[in-house]
Structure 1
């Protein structure tokens, strides 16, 4: 028992020390985990043969990650990405597999082994890419969504690869994989005919979808009635583990099954609670997986074959990069998004280790070749965080220095009942308040830095011009309940309100105004509710000023409330007067005369209309000390 505690302590202390250091130097958590694995494994020898076993267990972190990713989508969003899922993902796998096959055959391997190697290196690392995109707030970018589409197709393709690889078996390798093989896993479909196998697979997928939709809510309502949080956590884990086990029993990808279950539960009332309970386990298991990748590097093979490993690793990244960049251009993923898509998927993936092991067991790839290829896979995964750093420091600054208006707008693939146009200092507060209350929103802005900030705190936001009707339509204005207009251009804001209220009169429009005149323009355009951006903060500060001058806080609050009530009571009078003025507020003596009369009424209200608080109702309060005469 003590040995397990010591091993767990070694893995945990490696993560605790290395990851914060990597984050501090801007290297990302994934690279920190990989370095930690190299230090405790090949360098210090603190961990050994158990690494492979732990890695299989830690791969469950990928399953949990895809479950959580699925919960961020819904069937409508999944259908919207079908072109990139099938088109871009399918082409990527086919073209990359063909290129890998050609290179392996050119290097002297038989065509069967070459084809298996091509399939292996067509895959990318779901764990590293999604984790890093999530950390950097890039999952909602055009490049991030395209990368996710390809990764999802790759996870589906793994199923077909596992079925196809045994057909490539080489008689001369018979028996070579014996020492490398593992105990077979339990399967319900082993020995079944093809048509019966297909029916079982369809039944399993149908059970996940139907059961998740109908039985999932019943399960969580039953668990919630117990009032025990730990039971809810157990139920969430039971759901994910059970789906993974079911998929494994019918020879499907557990990650794919978990993703489907997440999509089914995306609109569940328990969505946020499930995410909160699963997230810590996902993070720990993914971190453990990355550590085992670093710890599993065989330095003896690396020392004897380092030149080959380095050369092949560079070739893999370069060839995949060229092909991915071509696909990005073909599917319209341009500028920095095209580079993000290219650099994020240029590596081999964790499923490469699985397929290499399976290929040796199936007598397709020689054992000595698989050892070198395993190092190539690990090397490419190790380099991936560095590619993301290159994207941050070399690619993004180049595109951010150009005019943002020339940047291609993001493809909006998600909709919400609330659309926020403009996410500057005003719009951000609105977004955070809505997000804190679990109200779905879609935010649009032309300032890329503001968009990236919101993505970092997991608010759906897109680069685009909200005043353009096509962008609003894509964001779902036809089905939205509320539109918040907080853009920094007065005229565009007014035009936008006019357009929306004309074509979508049922949408409730709330707008930010810069001043009183802009407030009236927005009201005239049809806005249902208008707030001046500095009005309430200035009123609050005025109340603090009264308190600082010795007015009791309760009386100061009454006076500010009376001020606001007076403003609201006469707002319509001023608005009607403004509509009759052609030259505007600043140039109209008639408006100024009316305004001054209302100011006199306000002063009278302040002096006589506000009752002083009763002595017994006043809390204990000491007025601020007066400043010395010389400082006044």
Structure 2
């Protein structure tokens, strides 16, 4: 640890460690296709006071690559979580919140208190006092908003289900902390009165922010936009977030609650998109700092010494929460795949679990060593959240056995020879409109049940299906389609799916959406008949509009655009063939030699 005289050097070295972690962890883990969440937590565990940081006195040079003052970076970590909740609010609206009321206050409340009751009873049966068991049950039943939502978003069925439950947990955190304070041996009655007062003040503060924000924020952002200064606009964004957080914090609620309300209010204005773009870099860096602080709570020596108890505790918490969440969602009417995936995703504890554990320890409901044990369990749970997301998707695919059959039936209805549109967002719907206009039958497949339901209600031939599931491709083979159009905005998935479809359908046209010319070349190598780069098409459309506006006749313009498009496609295909030729020659020589 640095001494007080090295305070400036300490802060500078801490900043270098954090920025270095962000610059190294994100690209390295992205290349390995691993979530950077794990990387940040591992960096925190490595450079924190329980690992290399403890060796700073013996090896002074380690002070420059370790976090010497963990408390000094906590405000930045809290700012990252606040900005994350603010961005979640930007994706919501009052109408959407109203439609989610059953999910928030029904399933959300049942999930939190149901999981807490089961965990608490289990801990009480193995010797924990009932007051401590209640505190631990409520703490461990919480799930991580800051990790779950970035992994699944808020637009999918899984994301919406998770968001509804997480919103209730974010609101419930303050009453939980007050409840634990009221259960303390030295305060039997004062805590309940303070809780009622805080809830009343919190309600007034929320109402004030919602009502006042609708009048103040549009004017504030309009003034900032007129200056045409990105810096001033960013300053206005941060001012709104910080003031809202301070207001809810002043009345006893969590600052993230104020940030969430601010985001919801701004979501109703025309400045939502610009605000989201401006705050994204700071939000990402702040979240990385928060994850580093989580990693610092991992005591490697304690984990090694008690690995069996810790493993049992982690597995027990994950199983209880996954089963409770999935069961409640099924009772509420969610599809089996959505319930299974959401249950596994929501199984790990939360960063707010650490807050509740501290409150329980401060109220003397649990011993300090007990709190330290469950802090390690929480940190491990947060670390494996990205892995749980993948396991959840796998569980959802295994549970939902009906999707492949629906695909096969849809392809056979009304005869064979339909075009299969994979991905049904805005691009997919436009493709479907053009196919219909020219009398071509199609069936659209998408893994977002909300998008499928909305499209089906609008009259589109859309069905649910996970295109990455191998069994679905087998059902496509039994349905005899006559072409595939891939419209997903996911370069890796499009390339993988193109390769699988070409293996399964050697002779059918495969037309794929590409992000740029480099991605298009990859798709041609994977077997695409045609790859359409977004950047090229946008450039051609701009050129076409400019030439027509300049007075050039429409006929020659269209002819030249088609000629340029064919020329560019030929160049991309040629580059792909030239890269693939040496590989094919090497494979042929290897076969001949064997």
Q: TM-score range by the shorter chain?
A: 0.5 to 0.7
Shift of 1:308: 1.4
Q: What per-residue deviation string (whole Å, max 9, x for no partner) do you get for residues 255-302 of structure 1?
A: 122212211221212111211111111111011111221122122322
Q: Is the 8 A contact 1:58 1:285 kept in 2?
A: yes
Q: Does 2:292 align with 1:274?
A: no
Shift of 1:56: 4.7
Q: Pick closer, same or farther for the CA change 1:402–1:193 going to 2, 3 Å.
A: closer
Which residue matches 1:337? Answer: 338
Q: What per-residue deviation string (whole Å, max 9, x for no partner) do you get for residues 63-114 of structure 1?
A: 2112111111211111001111111101001101101110110120111111
Which residue matches 2:167? Answer: 152
Distance 1:143 1:56 in 2: 31
Q: Pick closer, same or farther for the CA change 1:146–1:563 going to 2, 3 Å.
A: closer
Shift of 1:319: 1.2
Which residue matches 1:560? Answer: 555
Moved more, 56-65 or 95-104: 56-65
Shift of 1:562: 9.5
Number of matched pairs? 438
Distance 1:161 1:194 in 2: 9
Q: Pick closer, same or farther for the CA change 1:161–1:563 going to 2, 3 Å.
A: closer
Which residue matches 1:359? Answer: 360
Q: 1:448 aligns with which of 446, 452, 456?
A: 446
Shift of 1:4: 1.6
Which residue matches 2:349? Answer: 348
Q: Pick closer, same or farther for the CA change 1:471–1:142 going to 2, 3 Å.
A: farther
Distance 1:114 1:426 in 2: 47
Q: Does 2:11 align with 1:22?
A: no
Q: Does 2:315 align with 1:308?
A: no
Distance 1:19 1:243 in 2: 30
Q: Pick closer, same or farther for the CA change 1:563–1:239 going to 2, 3 Å.
A: closer
Q: Is the 8 A contact 1:33 1:291 kept in 2?
A: yes
Q: Pick closer, same or farther for the CA change 1:286–1:251 going to 2, 3 Å.
A: same
Q: Pick closer, same or farther for the CA change 1:87–1:393 going to 2, 3 Å.
A: closer
Q: Pick closer, same or farther for the CA change 1:196–1:101 going to 2, 3 Å.
A: closer
Q: Is the 8 A contact 2:108 2:166 kept in 1?
A: yes
Shift of 1:249: 0.5
Distance 1:301 1:246 in 2: 39
Which residue matches 1:115? Answer: 134
Q: What per-residue deviation string (whole Å, max 9, x for no partner) do you get for residues 400-444 of structure 1?
A: 89427379xxxxxxxxxxxxx977699518879xxxxxxxxxxx9
Distance 1:332 1:388 in 2: 21
Which residue matches 1:428? Answer: 427
**Greater gyration radius:** 1
Which residue matches 2:588? Answer: none
Q: What per-residue deviation string (whole Å, max 9, x for no partner) do you get for residues 173-201 of structure 1?
A: xxxxxxxxxxxxxxxx9998777655533
Q: Pick closer, same or farther for the CA change 1:403–1:218 going to 2, 3 Å.
A: same
TM-score normalised according to structure 2 size: 0.66
Which residue matches 1:89? Answer: 108
Distance 1:27 1:236 in 2: 31
Q: Pick closer, same or farther for the CA change 1:222–1:559 going to 2, 3 Å.
A: closer
Distance 1:158 1:426 in 2: 36
Q: Pick closer, same or farther for the CA change 1:471–1:248 going to 2, 3 Å.
A: farther
Distance 1:165 1:296 in 2: 23
Q: What per-residue deviation string (whole Å, max 9, x for no partner) do you get for residues 464-492 of structure 1?
A: 373546999xxxxxxxxxxxxxxxx99xx
Aligned to 1:379, what secondary structure does the other structure show?
helix
Q: Does 2:11 align with 1:4?
A: yes
Q: Which runs of 5+ in 1 are unaligned?
A: 173-188, 408-420, 433-443, 453-460, 473-488, 491-533, 545-552, 565-632
Which residue matches 1:38? Answer: 45
Which residue matches 1:167? Answer: 182
Q: Pick closer, same or farther for the CA change 1:294–1:233 going to 2, 3 Å.
A: same
Distance 1:168 1:74 in 2: 37
Q: What per-residue deviation string (whole Å, max 9, x for no partner) do you get for residues 521-559 of structure 1?
A: xxxxxxxxxxxxx9xx9xx99xx9xxxxxxxx99x9647
Instruction: Note the 1:324-403 alignment, pairs <5 A.
Output: 324-392=325-393, 395-396=396-397, 399=400, 402-403=403-404
Structure holding more helix per residue: 2
- Let me know the Cα RMSD of the aligned residues: 3.9
Distance 1:205 1:329 in 2: 32
Which residue matches 1:232? Answer: 233
Distance 1:31 1:23 in 2: 11
Distance 1:261 1:167 in 2: 31
Aligned to 1:352, what secondary structure does the other structure show?
helix
Q: Pick closer, same or farther for the CA change 1:112–1:426 going to 2, 3 Å.
A: closer
Which residue matches 2:5? Answer: none
Aligned to 2:451, what secondary structure does the other structure show?
strand
Q: Is the 8 A contact 1:335 1:399 kept in 2?
A: yes
Shift of 1:203: 2.7
